[in-house]
Amino acid sequence: MDTNTGTDHGSSGHRRTGRSSGMRRGHRAKPRTRRVVAVGGVLAVAAAATVTVSLASASQYPARPAGADHAVFVQGDELAGNTIHVFTRDNDGKLEPAGNYQTGGKGGDQVDAPTDSLASQGSLVYDHNSGMLLAVNAGSGTVTSFRVDGQQLNDRKVVSSGGAFPSSIAVHGKVAYVMNAGGAGSVQGFRITAHGLVPLPGSLRSLGLENMDIPRFNTSPGEVEFTPDGRNLVVTTKAANTVEVFPMKNDGLPSVAEPVVNKSVGGVPFAISFDRTGRRMLVAEAEKSTVTTYRVKHDGTLKVLQKSLPSGQEVLCWLERAGNYFYGGNTGSSTVTGYRMDRHGRLSLTNEAGIATPPSSKSQGVIDIAVSEDERFVYVQNATSGTVDGFRVEADGALTKVTTATDLPAFGESGMEGIVAV
């Protein structure tokens, strides 16, 4: 998300309950090459049969083979044909190109999106249990699954997302939920099978928003994510400033017709992450680049554990965990902020400046972030530059650059978004 001084976004999201929350005029925007907009004070940045599905962590699928080659997958989100760009990752974190794969769908670009065309986190997801890579095709309303074999992607399957403009995916056990950002917004569940994704009857739930099929980046929902125990499905909504929760049943279906609506502590909630215990949920808030820590109760309500922590950076939208550290992408200032969580669950910055690594003039438009499975490396997409930077995580939480991948789709008519490291 980006921001532009004095720019009014216009339309805002509305809940089915009749409550609405508009975006206020902002004063600064995220660094997205397209346009800057203000979001809530932020600058512009964007069958019939019942199927029983186990949400347990155990899976019918074998785990990824020990010693298998590591890889980083980058979603190009090209409008003419979405592509996954694959890179080999060596033991030092360095990347080398290893091929491109068509998803069989089209990329998308939200209205007035500054630099992040999908304006979401979780648009590309790797499911360790099944060994599948899942990608959204926002421009064609579909989701693609691939079987991951080292750095090769095989057995492509494409299914409808169940809505308009899919932009985020969450996985738990043998179930995946796709967040559709267009129109009223929705979440649609799928079973993860050896033959790809199969729609889960009775799982579709509306988010009650007011958007066109191609939404504005600042009024679209930000991310869908499961709590680690699988008991709740969480969605952030930017313009409505809410964190919405669907309590889940053991069969993989939501137990409620409408989400439990929680008012966000900070403005413009975007990305969701959890601490290593799975008991604390962190939400990145773009308006003032803050992070709030919650506990998600079984009934879908939230308890605030730590109020919004500011970083001093601009337009925080993405947040991922590496051990006891968290790293946030600030598209407005093209920086990465480091956070440390102590044994008591207290969050703090890794340094006073709120910057985990020096910014680079060749790494502009910081957006999505991925952490390697071993939690040793952090990979950052730079939308404006069309690059991905790789960093080693140091003992104090600082990031040391070890590689840069170039020649990726730079933001223009659209741009890359979505990254996974395995």
Task: Characterise 303 by phi-psi region: left (phi > 0), alpha (psi -120 to 50), beta (else).
Answer: beta
Residue 134 lies in a domain: yes
pLDDT value at residue 366: 96
Q: Is 91 exposed, middle or buried (0-12, 13-18, 19+ CB in 10 A)?
A: exposed
Average the pLDDT over each of 25-29, 134-138, 195-199, 327-331 and give the range with the smallest value.
25-29
Residue 6 lies in a domain: no
Burial class, 225, CB count within 10 angstroms (exposed 0-12 / middle 13-18 / buried 19+): buried
pLDDT computed for residue 412 by the predictor: 87
Least confident of 38-42, 101-105, 253-257, 259-263: 38-42
Read off the pLDDT of each residue in 268-293 and give the average, rounded to a whole number.
97
- Assess if residue 9 is contained within a domain: no
12 in a domain, yes or no? no
Inside any domain, residue 63: no
Instruction: Look up residue 226 and give its DSSP letter.
Output: E
Q: Is residue 88 part of a domain?
A: yes
pLDDT (tens digit, 9 = 90+) per residue, 103-115? Answer: 999 999 999 998 9
Structure tokens at 137: 């095709």
What digits encode the pLDDT tens for the residues 144-154?
Answer: 999 999 999 99
Query: For residue 375, how many other CB atoms are within 10 A of its CB?
Result: 16
pLDDT at residue number 66: 41
Spatial separation of the C-alpha atoms in residues 382 and 365, rounded to whole Å: 5
Question: Domains in the chain: how many in total?
Answer: 1
Q: For residue 1, what pLDDT band results from cuts at 50, 70 and 90?
A: low
What is the band of 78 on the pLDDT scale with cuts at 50, 70, 90?
very high
Domain range enclosing 400: 70-421
pLDDT, mean of residues 199-222: 96
Of 356, 413, 403, 355, nearest in space to 383 by CA: 413
Domain of residue 121, CATH code: 2.130.10.10
The sign of the torsion formed by the CA atoms of 183, 115, 332, 407 equals positive
Task: Give the DSSP letter string of 280-318.
Answer: -EEEEETTTTEEEEEEE-TTS-EEEEEEEEE-S-S-EEE
Any domain includes 26 = no
Q: Which class for 67: exposed (0-12), middle (13-18), buried (19 or more C-beta within 10 A)?
A: exposed
Give a yes or no: residue 31 inside a domain. Answer: no
Long-range CB pairs of 97-101, under 8 A, 24+ apart, other chains included? 97/405, 98/71, 98/151, 99/151, 99/152, 100/76, 101/146, 101/153, 101/156
Whether the CB-CB separation of 393 and 322 falls below 8 Å is answered with: yes
Sequence-distant (≥ 6) Cβ neighbours of residue 295 within 8 angstroms: 279, 280, 281, 302, 303, 305
